[in-house]
């Protein structure tokens, strides 16, 4: 009779204890797999959203004495001397070596216009890009869909007492107010927003751009390199990386990942305690059996090997079932957590790591009970007979 046979027979005789051990470790491993899988999937979801929405690079005209209001440009009654960005040059941004990491290019033209007796700022934007880029905008009504439509910021709407559907006359042209932008706490609240081509004609800035916002952010995007490459193709502009935006976004992702790993670590530790307590109880219950083995000539190494072999079998089963349970939980939860870009990949590394983790935890938690069993005096068994 080999140690393997003895271990298997013992597990068969104690099915309830084996099931308890498997469940204890299974819950821990399943939790780890679920959290790791969800963390990776949600990180990809977050990166996807950040890639698509939210600018972190700003391109403005180069000027030494330019006052700052919106993206580095003051409009209205303030005179400015600078070379505007040429709209024809914007396609050059898509030719840089890191062009694959550029998610959106959002040009804008700014200028002062008169609405009745009030002077306000008109911002012309690329309709297809801007309203997708500014995901945090909440608009009562709808975004601009035509050249004769406008969206008003909250402060402009309050100052001019604007209402949905109202007709506005600007420089002899009539526009319909199709949306009211809820307060954002930014310069957007003080602007009328319309289409880019219309604003260029109205302001007399045909083919000119006041500033460009670029969204370029992913897990390992070299933002500084992108800035340098854009500066090379647009040498007459000033290209700025909004480092605080980048750092805060990546810090949030790192914090989320750290929290998940911390929770997983606590659950695995609890699983290890379950294995330790159960194996210690099993050793104490098998005092006579272990003593007989020692009396029959089993060495201490044999006893240690027997206990660890039982733990290995249980841990292996728990690791496999835990991985499958974790993957099942991930697939069930992911559609509710990652609504826009649910993405799940089978990972051989995660499968192997979870099984190895289960075996390592089971072995370490069983080591002391195994050593304790090996130190039993054979005479204990004879007293029990």
Given a cut of 50, whether residue 155 has pLDDT beyond it is: yes
Whether residues 231 and 365 share a domain: the answer is no
Quick one: 64 and 42 in the same domain? Answer: no
pTM of the model: 0.55
**Between 245 and 77, the higher pLDDT residue:** 245
The reply to whether 66 and 101 lie within a common domain is yes
Same domain, 213 and 195: yes
Q: Residue 265 and residue 271: Cα distance in Å, rounded?
A: 10
Distance between CA 123 and CA 210 in Å, rounded?
9
With 0-12 / 13-18 / 19 or more C-beta atoms within 10 angstroms meaning exposed / middle / buried, residue 148 is: middle
CB 160 within 8 A of CB 115: yes
| 76 plus 223 within the same structural domain | yes
Number of domains in the chain: 2
Q: For residue range 70-89, what is the model confidence (pLDDT) as tens digits?
A: 544 444 444 444 678 999 99
Tokens linked to 124? 């012309």
Choose the final residue of a domain: 223, 241, 259: 241
Stretch 372-379: mean pLDDT: 69
Where does a domain end: 213, 241, 269? 241
pLDDT of residue 76: 42
Strands 118-125 and 104-115: antiparallel
Nearest to 31 by CA among 328, 275, 258: 328
207 and 333 co-located in one domain: no
pLDDT one-digit tens code per residue, 313-329: 888 888 899 899 988 88
Residue 315's domain comprises 3-48+250-384
**Residue 261 and residue 368 share a domain:** yes
Task: State residue 108's pLDDT score.
Answer: 95
Tell me, yes or no, whether 30 and 77 share the same domain.
no
How far apart (Å, rounded) are the C-alpha atoms in residues 122 and 114?
9
Q: Are residues 218 and 199 in the same domain?
A: yes
My answer on whether 301 and 207 are in the same domain is no
Look at the alpha carbons of 291, 292, 298, 303 in this order and tell me if their dihedral is positive or negative. Answer: negative
Beta bridge partners of 253: none
C-alpha distance from residue 359 to each of 142, 250, 321, 352 (Å): 57, 34, 13, 11
44 and 60 inside one domain: no
Q: Which residues contact 328 (CB under 8 A, 6 or more apart)?
A: none
Given 241, 261, 279, the domain boundary residue is 241
Least confident of 6-20, 26-40, 135-149: 6-20
Tokens 């899988």 found at: 37
Low-confidence winner among 125-129, 134-138, 159-163 (lowest mean pLDDT): 134-138
Are 199 and 225 within one domain? yes
- What burial letters (b/e) apply to 186-220, b meaning 16+ CB within 10 Å? eebbbbbbbbbebbbbbbebeebbbbbbbbbbeee
């Amino acid at each position: 009779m080999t140690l393997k046979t003895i271990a298997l027979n013992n597990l068969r005789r104690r099915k309830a204890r084996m099931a308890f051990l498997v469940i204890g470790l299974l819950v821990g491993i399943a939790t780890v797999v679920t959290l790791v899988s969800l963390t990776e999937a949600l990180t990809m979801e977050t990166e996807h959203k950040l890639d698509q929405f939210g600018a972190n690079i700003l391109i403005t005209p180069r000027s030494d004495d330019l006052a700052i209001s919106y993206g580095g440009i003051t409009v209205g009654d303030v005179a400015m001397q600078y070379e505007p960005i040429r709209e024809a040059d914007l396609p050059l941004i898509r030719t840089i070596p890191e062009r694959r990491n550029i998610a959106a290019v959002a040009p804008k033209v700014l200028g002062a216009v008169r609405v009745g007796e009030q002077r306000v700022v008109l911002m012309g934007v690329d309709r297809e890009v801007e309203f997708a880029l500014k995901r945090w905008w909440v608009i009562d009504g709808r975004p601009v869909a035509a050249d004769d439509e406008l969206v008003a910021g909250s402060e402009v709407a309050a100052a001019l007492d604007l209402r949905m559907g109202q007709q506005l006359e600007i420089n002899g042209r009539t526009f319909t107010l199709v949306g009211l932008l809820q307060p954002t706490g930014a310069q957007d609240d003080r602007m009328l927003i319309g289409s880019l081509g219309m604003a260029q004609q109205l302001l007399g800035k045909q083919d000119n751009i006041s500033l460009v916002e670029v969204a370029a952010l992913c897990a390992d995007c070299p933002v500084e390199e992108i800035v340098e490459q854009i500066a090379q193709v647009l040498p007459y502009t000033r290209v700025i990386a909004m480092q605080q935006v980048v750092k805060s976004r990546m810090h949030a992702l790192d914090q989320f990942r750290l929290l998940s790993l911390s929770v997983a670590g606590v659950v695995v530790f609890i699983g290890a305690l379950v294995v330790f307590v159960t194996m210690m109880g099993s050793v104490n219950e098998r005092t006579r059996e272990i003593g007989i083995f020692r009396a029959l000539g089993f060495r201490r190494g044999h006893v240690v090997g027997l206990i660890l072999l039982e733990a290995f079998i249980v841990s292996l089963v728990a690791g496999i079932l835990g991985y499958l349970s974790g993957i099942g939980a991930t697939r069930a939860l992911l559609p509710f957590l990652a609504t826009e870009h649910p993405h799940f990949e089978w990972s051989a590394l995660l499968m192997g790591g979870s099984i190895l983790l289960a075996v390592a935890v089971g072995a370490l938690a069983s080591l002391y009970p195994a050593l304790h069993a090996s130190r039993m005096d054979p005479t204990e068994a004879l007293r029990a007979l």
